[in-house]
Chains A and B, each alone.
Chain A
Amino acid sequence: MSDFQQLALQLATQQQSPVWLNGLRAQAAVDWQKVIWPTRKTEHWKYTSLASLQKNVPAQWAVANDSWQQDVEFVAVDAHRLVFVNGIFDAASSSELPAEVVLFSQANIAQQAVIEQYLGKIVRGEQHVFATLNNAWMNEGIFVHVPRGQIFSRPVYVVHVSTMSTQPASVNQRLLVVLDENSQAEVIEHFVSTAERQNIFVNALTEIVVGDNAQLQHYRLHLEEENIQHVGAVHVNLLRNARMRGFTLALGSRLKRIDYQINHRGQGAELDLQGVYLPRNNQMVDYHTNVQHWVPHCTTNEVFRGIIADSAQAIFNGRIYIHPLAQKTLAELSNKNLLTSNKAEVNTKPELEIYADDVKCAHGATISQLSSTALYYLQSRGISRSEAEVMLSFGFINELLQQVAEPAVRDYLLPRLAVLFGRDQTLLEMAD
């Protein structure tokens, strides 16, 4: 076992969790000891080093901290809000919750049964190293259950705040979302940090089931500052005629690795997934997506775009796997990257594996610099070269931002990203 594995095991024993979760945790602790620690030779970790975790071991659990409010602004959305600070639930900053949204520790017997039915099951079998760790580390979690036929009128908004800790520290986050048949909901996950020098390692795992004819809008925003180390994953099962519209965004940091594992398990399921990554300075972002079509007549439309600046590094690995039974699949995957510096680096790998013969699939990845024709056009109107570069860079991701379905999320992101690109935000708002 690596140093980190040893230490993680110790941390696991320090966690207190509801008794009914002990079985899952104990099994995970056993599995964790057998896990092969990823190195550069591990295919899915080829470009992402975990050396910083090994070097700067987050050897304790992060503790609550109340000096974060001035640094963190929430998405202005009328929502069921749950706020966690360094992994600890902050009731005062959270809103009153409906019966369908509970912490694991407060789940009633019926809810415990549903949690046990799904927790760790959606992720199972995919041998995700950090999912095993998340199971072993689990002390708490959020359970969102949308009962059959119900439509949540307000989004569920989960905010995870990371602050400075006296020593490098760890945080474990878990979210389970279950949409029963014919239900609808919107879930926003928002990771954010205070502006100080952060030293938190976050392991955040989300499991989602979208039931027959159910519809989910899901957002996962990774806006933490650059010293955060974040390993996160979203594992989803889509059942018959389920629809999921997902959007994810990540600023870079010292370690930021996000996996999406989405399974089409019921016929007629539809997935729309869009992502944006924006590493700068010496930051990195690594997105691994894996969409599996197990059954016929499902649709995937996946678009990721990244702008890599300065000496930053991005990794995008997008896989779509069409199993032999999955006839009449429609799947498209597009990944476009813009490098704005000679030192910026991207490793992109779209993978399409098709084992059915009657499918329509397309995939593509591009890496480019700004269009010289577009730059010339802007300059010919008096706009300086540097401003033109910024406008075009922002435009490259703004195309995706404009398609974000939740206006509150769009309104939150646009001005913040505009500032990142030095754009005039009042005009962006007015043009809207």
Chain B
Amino acid sequence: MLRITNLFAKVEEKEILKGLNLTINAGEVHAIMGPNGAGKSTLGNVLSGRDGYEVTDGKIDFNDKDLFALSTEERAREGLFLAFQYPVEIPGVSNMEFLKASVDAKRKHHGQSELSAVEFMKLARETSKRVSLDQAFLKRGVNEGFSGGEKKRNEILQMMLLEPSLCILDETDSGLDIDALQIVANGVNEMRSPERSFIIVTHYQRLLDYIVPDFVHVLANGRIVKTGGKQLALELEEKGYAWLEEEAV
């Protein structure tokens, strides 16, 4: 599914990722934990191809394609999805229009016809129920005036509609209360399948009580410094990151 080899990346001349290696097979759930500034969000942004994130070395294969040869939108259409830590508010662009445009873009890319407005409305309504998001949110501007929890549920709604093969959740648990956390986690768990992989970027072990990972990685100083099973998350919760950062230097 995804193979990251010796990845180096800079943001504004500051080297953030320093030789990161990570392989993810189909169907696996990988949690990436680590201290602030370790490069967790940078990894998500590099994967989705955000401007300003300069890759200086290394390569990423995504479904046997060179990821760096694809634009941000092509990566999305090929099945890469990044759930944002801070979903963007876009007043004036209706959520419905936005969702349909993204679903249609993916369908066209795969040689399918666009959905009719009626077909799409039906799909969007059904899907928004799955994340307990009131249909009224479809009519509002994209994330406009949504609470933190509503924004994250809207991210999961997009994920469900786009049916990506690789889902990257960037601190999706930040700013969520327990109820919203459960809804988000249920959404992710519903989507788990042998063909779909997840990268769960998080600070806290809490989310991993709900979304149980196959692997837990610790990202520190721009590299994966430790990999383990789900117990590692519990160990981190207890001991913090400092001992690993010291090891990594």
Contact = CB atoms under 8 A, between A and B. Distances in A.
Interface stretch (B57-65, B69-77, B193-201, B215-223): B69-77
B241 interface: no
A394 interface: yes
B84 A377 contact: yes
A427 B88 contact: no
A402 B97 contact: no
A377 B117 contact: no
B4 interface: no
Contacts of B77: 382
Contact of A376 (B51, B92, B97, B142): B51
Given A379-B71, A395-B90, A430 B121 contact: yes
B206 interface: no
Contacts of A380: 48-50, 72-73, 75-76, 81-82, 84
Interface stretch (B8-16, B102-110, B173-181, B231-239): B102-110
A425 to B, nearest CB: 10
Contacts of B88: 371, 373-374, 376-377
Given A376-B51, A426-B117, A431-B138, A395 B105 contact: no
A91 interface: no
A399 B142 CA distance: 12
A372 B51 contact: yes
Given A380-B76, A383-B73, A385-B73, A427 B98 contact: no
B139 A431 contact: yes
Interface in A375-430: 376-385, 387, 391-392, 394-399, 402, 423-424, 426-428, 430
B50 A398 contact: no
B96 to A, nearest CB: 4
Max chain A Cβ within 10 angstroms of own Cβ: one of B81, B84, B101: B101
Nearest to A395: B92
B75 to A, nearest CB: 8
Tell me the interface secondary structure of chain A in the complex.
helix
A398 B92 contact: yes
B92 A397 contact: yes
A382 B73 contact: yes
Nearest to B107: A382
Nearest to B121: A430
Contacts of A372: 51
B92 A394 contact: yes
Contacts of A384: 73, 105
B97 A423 contact: yes
Contacts of A398: 92-93
Contacts of A378: 90, 98, 101-102
A397 B84 CA distance: 26
Nearest to B83: A380
B72 A391 contact: no
A396 B139 contact: no
Nearest to A401: B92
Contacts of A426: 117
Given A377-B84, A395-B141, A427-B97, A383 B105 contact: yes
Max chain B Cβ within 10 angstroms of own Cβ: one of A391, A402, A424, A431: A431
Contact of B100 (A373, A396, A397, A424): A424
B97 A381 contact: no
A402 B162 contact: no
Contacts of A385: 71, 73
Given A380-B48, A382-B77, A396 B117 contact: no
A430 B117 contact: yes
Contacts of B121: 430
Given A372-B51, A424-B117, A427-B117, A383 B101 contact: yes
Contacts of B90: 374, 377-378, 392, 395
A247 to B, nearest CB: 16
B87 interface: yes
Max chain A Cβ within 10 angstroms of own Cβ: one of B50, B92, B142: B92
Nearest to B97: A427
A10 to B, nearest CB: 48
Contacts of B81: 380
Contacts of A396: 92
Contacts of A397: 92
Interface of A: 371-374, 376-385, 387, 391-392, 394-399, 402, 423-424, 426-428, 430-432
Report the 7 A-B pairs with minimum CB-CB distance, sorted nearest first. Answer: A395-B92, A381-B102, A395-B93, A382-B76, A382-B105, A399-B92, A398-B92
Given A395-B141, A424-B101, A430-B96, 13 more contacts: A377-B88, A378-B102, A380-B76, A380-B82, A381-B102, A382-B73, A383-B73, A385-B71, A402-B92, A427-B94, A430-B118, A431-B139, A432-B139
14 contacts: A374-B90, A380-B49, A380-B50, A380-B75, A383-B102, A383-B105, A387-B101, A391-B97, A395-B141, A398-B92, A426-B117, A427-B117, A427-B120, A432-B139
